[in-house]
Amino acid sequence: MDSFAQGYDDYLQSPLQPLMDNLDSQTYEIFEKDPVKYAQYEKAISKALLDRVTEDQKEDVTTVVMVVGAGRGPLVDATLRAAKSSERLVVIYAVEKNPGAVVTLQNRQAEEWGSRVTVVSCDMRQWNAPEKADILVSELLGSFGDNELSPECL
């Protein structure tokens, strides 16, 4: 924890407003440096997949996972790892409103994820999903608890 927070001690920061403002790449990088958080997301997604699809259904049932506010993709990665470790089939929609982050998601889709992930460049509040989500994944962000209005958006 100390090495992660180093340089931010006794430094007053302006609250982030990710719903209103597009975050810059450096801000995403700071959030992505927390390996414990993403490992916990992966565990939770894996448990949800195992709970939703029984062992005898795992080759026949595909779970629709929507990562809303996908950023640059760490939650998409966690979802893909969870699907692999739980041996469950998934279709993933990565929904992101920030044009800079969308470019990164599209590059990752082309180079890493392929057809396993559909990148949606849209504000989640305006998106008409083509199907219902079985699992919805989102990271509540903000400098003061959650000042992103995520509960209202979700």
**Catalytic site positions:** 139, 148
Task: For residue 60, give the 3-state DSSP assignment.
Answer: coil
CB burial of 55-81 (b: ≥16 within 10 Å; e: otherwise) equals eeeeeeeebbbbbbbbbbbbbbbbbbb
3-state secondary structure of 64: strand
Tokens of 118: 């559909």
